[in-house]
Chains A and B, each alone.
Chain A
Amino acid sequence: MKKNKFLFLSALCAMMAMFFVACDNDDDPTPDPTPDPEKTTAFYVLDGGSFGNNNAAISYVNGEGEVTNDIFKDLNGRNLGDMGQNMIRYGSKLYVSVYGSKTVEILNAADAKSLKQLKLLDEQGNERAPRMFAAHGDKVYLTTYDGYVAKIDTASMTVDAYVQVGPNPDGITIANGRIYTADTDGMNWPSQSTSVSVVDINTFKMEKTLTVSLNPNYIYSDSDGDVYVICMSDYSDDKSYIIQRIDAKTDEVTTIEGVKAYKMTVYDDIAYIMFNDYYAGAVKFYKYDLKNEKLLSDNFITDGTVIDSPNGIGIDPLRGDIYVAKSNKTNNGDVYVFTAEGKLKTQFETAPYPSDFVFMVDK
Chain B
Amino acid sequence: MGAWLLFAVAVYAQQVDTVSYHQLSEVEVVEKARPSVTREATPVQLIDRKGIERLGVQELSEAVKRFSGVTVQDYGGIGGLKTVSVRSLGAKHTAVSYDGVTITDAQSGQVDISRFSLDNVEMVSLSIGQADNIFQTARIYASAGALSIKTSKPEFTTLPFHLRAQVKAGSFGLVNPSLRYEQKLGEKWSASLYGDWQRADGNYPFTLINGKLEDKKKRYNSDIETWRTELNLYGDFGKGGRLRLKGYYFDSERGLPGSVILYNDYSGERLWDKNGFAQAHYENRVNELFAFQAQLKYNYAWMRHLEVDNKYESGRQDDRYTQNEYYGSASALYTPWECVSFSLAQDFYVNTLDNTLPECPFPTRYTSLTVLAGQYKTSRFTATASLLGTFMTEKVETGDTPADRKRLSPAVSASWRILPEQNLRIRASYKDIFRVPTFNDMYYLRIGNTGLKPERATQYNLGLTWSGKSASFVNYLSVSTDGYYNRIRDKIVAMPTMFIWKMMNMGEVSIAGIDANISTEIPVCNKVDVVLQGTYTWQKAIDITDESAKNYRHQIPYTPKHSGTVALSIENPWVNLSYNLTAVGDRYSLPQNIEANLIKSYVEQGISVNREFKFNKCKLRLQGEIINLGNINYDVIQYYPMPGRSYRAMVAFIL
A145 to B596, CA, bound (A): 29
Given A329-B496, A331-B592: A103 touches B311 (CB 8 Å cut-off): no
A122 to B317, CA, bound (A): 19
CB distance from B493 to the nearest CB of A (A): 9
Contact between A235 and B446, CB atoms less than 8 A apart? yes
- Name the segment of B95-103, B206-214, B234-242, B461-469 touching the other chain: B206-214
Contact between B312 and A330, CB atoms less than 8 A apart? no
0 or 1 for each of A149-186: is its CB under 8 Å from B? (1 = yes): 00000000000000000011000000000000000010
Question: A35 near B: Cβ within 8 Å?
Answer: no
Given A1-B303, A4-B440, A77-B211: A11 touches B313 (CB 8 Å cut-off): no
Contact between A52 and B261, CB atoms less than 8 A apart? yes
Size bracket, chain B contacts: 35 or more
Contact between A2 and B501, CB atoms less than 8 A apart? no
- Among A76, A102, A126, contact of B211 (Cβ-Cβ < 8 Å): A76
0 or 1 for each of B494-509: is its CB under 8 Å from A? (1 = yes): 1111111110000000
A15 to B498, CA, bound (A): 6
In chain B between 239 and 279, which residues have their CB closer than 8 angstroms to a CB of chain A?
256, 258-264, 266, 271
Given A101-B261, A101-B263: A78 touches B212 (CB 8 Å cut-off): yes
Contact between A330 and B591, CB atoms less than 8 A apart? yes
Contact between B550 and A328, CB atoms less than 8 A apart? yes
Question: A12 near B: Cβ within 8 Å?
Answer: yes
Question: A187 near B: Cβ within 8 Å?
Answer: yes
Contact between B444 and A4, CB atoms less than 8 A apart? yes
0 or 1 for each of B79-122: is its CB under 8 Å from A? (1 = yes): 00100000000000000000000000001100000000000000
Question: A129 near B: Cβ within 8 Å?
Answer: yes
CB distance from B233 to the nearest CB of A (A): 34
A78 to B213, CA, bound (A): 7
Contact between B262 and A81, CB atoms less than 8 A apart? yes
Question: B310 near A: Cβ within 8 Å?
Answer: yes
Given A81-B262, A126-B310: A11 touches B213 (CB 8 Å cut-off): no
Enumerate chain B residues within 8 angstroms of A331, measured Cβ to Cβ: 549-551, 590-592
Question: A97 near B: Cβ within 8 Å?
Answer: no
Question: A53 near B: Cβ within 8 Å?
Answer: yes
In chain A between 102 and 161, which residues have their CB closer than 8 angstroms to a CB of chain B?
102-103, 117, 119, 122, 124, 126-129, 145-147
A79 to B208, CA, bound (A): 12
Most chain B CB within 10 A, of A4, A76, A122, is at A4
CB distance from A274 to the nearest CB of B (A): 9
Question: B47 near A: Cβ within 8 Å?
Answer: no
0 or 1 for each of B586-603: is its CB under 8 Å from A? (1 = yes): 000111101011000000
A321 to B597, CA, bound (A): 32
CB distance from B84 to the nearest CB of A (A): 16
Contact between A82 and B264, CB atoms less than 8 A apart? yes
0 or 1 for each of B136-153: is its CB under 8 Å from A? (1 = yes): 000000000000000000
Enumerate chain B residues within 8 angstroms of A78, measured Cβ to Cβ: 210-213, 262
Enumerate chain B residues within 8 angstroms of A185, measured Cβ to Cβ: 313
Enumerate chain B residues within 8 angstroms of A5, measured Cβ to Cβ: 305
Question: A255 near B: Cβ within 8 Å?
Answer: no
- Among A11, A101, A328, A330, contact of B501 (Cβ-Cβ < 8 Å): A11
CB distance from B51 to the nearest CB of A (A): 33
Residue of B nearest to A129 (CB): B311
Question: B445 near A: Cβ within 8 Å?
Answer: yes
0 or 1 for each of A296-315: is its CB under 8 Å from B? (1 = yes): 00000000000001010000
Given A8-B445, A101-B261: A276 touches B498 (CB 8 Å cut-off): yes
Question: A351 near B: Cβ within 8 Å?
Answer: yes
Contact between B551 and A53, CB atoms less than 8 A apart? no
Enumerate chain A residues within 8 angstroms of B639, measured Cβ to Cβ: 52-54
CB distance from B387 to the nearest CB of A (A): 33
Given A8-B445, A8-B446, A189-B358: A82 touches B261 (CB 8 Å cut-off): yes
0 or 1 for each of A39-56: is its CB under 8 Å from B? (1 = yes): 000000000001011110
Contact between A147 and B211, CB atoms less than 8 A apart? no
Residue of A nearest to B448 (CB): A4
Contact between B311 and A1, CB atoms less than 8 A apart? no
Residue of B nearest to A189 (CB): B358
0 or 1 for each of B181-214: is its CB under 8 Å from A? (1 = yes): 0000000000000000000000000000011110
A147 to B309, CA, bound (A): 12
Question: A354 near B: Cβ within 8 Å?
Answer: no
A109 to B313, CA, bound (A): 35
Contact between B310 and A128, CB atoms less than 8 A apart? yes
A232 to B314, CA, bound (A): 23
0 or 1 for each of B291-322: is its CB under 8 Å from A? (1 = yes): 00000000000010100001111100100010
Contact between B310 and A122, CB atoms less than 8 A apart? yes
Enumerate chain A residues within 8 angstroms of B446, measured Cβ to Cβ: 8, 11, 235
Question: A23 near B: Cβ within 8 Å?
Answer: no
CB distance from A30 to the nearest CB of B (A): 36
Q: DSSP class of A's interface residues: helix, strand, loop or mixed?
A: loop
Contact between B261 and A77, CB atoms less than 8 A apart? no
A189 to B446, CA, bound (A): 11
Contact between B499 and A127, CB atoms less than 8 A apart? no
Residue of B nearest to A235 (CB): B500
Most chain B CB within 10 A, of A5, A82, A129, A146, is at A5
Enumerate chain B residues within 8 angstroms of A100, measured Cβ to Cβ: 261, 264
Enumerate chain B residues within 8 angstroms of A287, measured Cβ to Cβ: none
Enumerate chain B residues within 8 angstroms of A101, measured Cβ to Cβ: 261-264
Question: B447 near A: Cβ within 8 Å?
Answer: yes
Most chain B CB within 10 A, of A55, A119, A191, is at A55
CB distance from B87 to the nearest CB of A (A): 21
Contact between B263 and A330, CB atoms less than 8 A apart? no
Question: A258 near B: Cβ within 8 Å?
Answer: no
Enumerate chain B residues within 8 angstroms of A327, measured Cβ to Cβ: 496
Question: A62 near B: Cβ within 8 Å?
Answer: no
Contact between A332 and B592, CB atoms less than 8 A apart? yes
- Among B317, B499, B638, contact of A12 (Cβ-Cβ < 8 Å): B499
Question: A262 near B: Cβ within 8 Å?
Answer: yes
Contact between B256 and A2, CB atoms less than 8 A apart? yes
CB distance from B311 to the nearest CB of A (A): 5
Enumerate chain A residues within 8 angstroms of B590, measured Cβ to Cβ: 50, 53, 55, 330-331, 352
Question: B400 near A: Cβ within 8 Å?
Answer: no
Contact between A262 and B312, CB atoms less than 8 A apart? no
Contact between A187 and B256, CB atoms less than 8 A apart? no
CB distance from A306 to the nearest CB of B (A): 11
Enumerate chain B residues within 8 angstroms of A278, measured Cβ to Cβ: 497-498, 502
Question: A73 near B: Cβ within 8 Å?
Answer: yes
0 or 1 for each of B577-617: is its CB under 8 Å from A? (1 = yes): 00000000000011110101100000000000000000000
0 or 1 for each of A1-43: is its CB under 8 Å from B? (1 = yes): 1111101101110011000000000000000000000000000
Most chain A CB within 10 A, of B81, B262, B314, B445, is at B262
Enumerate chain B residues within 8 angstroms of A8, measured Cβ to Cβ: 444-447, 501
A263 to B550, CA, bound (A): 25
Enumerate chain A residues within 8 angstroms of B108, measured Cβ to Cβ: 1, 3
CB distance from A126 to the nearest CB of B (A): 5
A129 to B312, CA, bound (A): 12
A79 to B262, CA, bound (A): 8
Contact between A7 and B310, CB atoms less than 8 A apart? no
A191 to B314, CA, bound (A): 12
A146 to B440, CA, bound (A): 28
Question: A202 near B: Cβ within 8 Å?
Answer: no
A345 to B560, CA, bound (A): 40
0 or 1 for each of A201-238: is its CB under 8 Å from B? (1 = yes): 00000000000000001000000000000001001000
10 A-B pairs with least C-beta separation: A77-B212, A146-B310, A78-B211, A190-B358, A331-B550, A101-B263, A278-B497, A331-B592, A52-B259, A11-B501
23 contacts between A and B (CB under 8 A): A1-B440, A2-B271, A3-B108, A8-B447, A15-B498, A81-B263, A82-B264, A98-B263, A102-B263, A126-B310, A127-B264, A128-B310, A146-B310, A187-B311, A189-B445, A262-B498, A309-B498, A311-B498, A328-B549, A329-B496, A331-B592, A332-B550, A332-B592
Sample of 6 more A-B contacts, CB < 8 Å, known A12-B499, A331-B550: A4-B444, A50-B590, A78-B262, A122-B310, A309-B498, A330-B590
